[in-house]
Amino acid sequence: MADVDAIAELASTRRWRTMSACRDVESNVFFAEDPMGLFEEQSAKAVCGQCFVIDDCLAYAITHDPPFGVWGGMTTAERRVVRKTWLNTLAS
Ligand code: SF4
């Protein structure tokens, strides 16, 4: 249950956004036309890999389920696998 609480707490504040590695990167790298091209996906994930707030970003995305883009180093499809596990943990 501690992981569930940690995710909710990390997602509760948006201060992390001011420290994001993507704040000066073109948004189309993270929100390319659907379906996201492999180049854009890899470029976005490379930026996320250098980001100090990747855990906060991923927690936000898991709890809020944005429908597009790379958040916290994961695509929408990848996040939804994690989100499903998180929701199942909440329900148990
Ligand atoms: S993890 Fe990626 S999408 Fe999230 S704030 Fe950092 S660079 Fe931006």
Max distance between CA atoms of the chain, in angstroms, equals: 40
Q: Is 57 in the pocket of ligand 1 (CB under 6 A)?
A: yes
Q: Is 47 in the pocket of ligand 1 (CB under 6 A)?
A: yes
CA angle 85, 44, 34 (to 5 degrees): 75
Taking the centre of ligand 1 as the mean of its atom positions, its distance from the CA of residue 71, in whole angstroms, is 6
- Residue-wise pLDDT for 53-80, tens only, equals 999 999 999 999 998 899 999 999 999 9
- Residue-wise pLDDT for 20-50, tens only, equals 999 998 888 888 765 556 778 899 999 999 9
Ligand 1 closest atom vs CA 17: 5
Give CA–CA dist 69/78, Å, rounded: 11
Cα dihedral across residues 23, 3, 85, 11: positive or negative: negative
pLDDT computed for residue 1 by the predictor: 45
Domain range annotation of the chain: 2-91
Q: Is 53 in the pocket of ligand 1 (CB under 6 A)?
A: yes
Give CA–CA dist 83/61, Å, rounded: 9
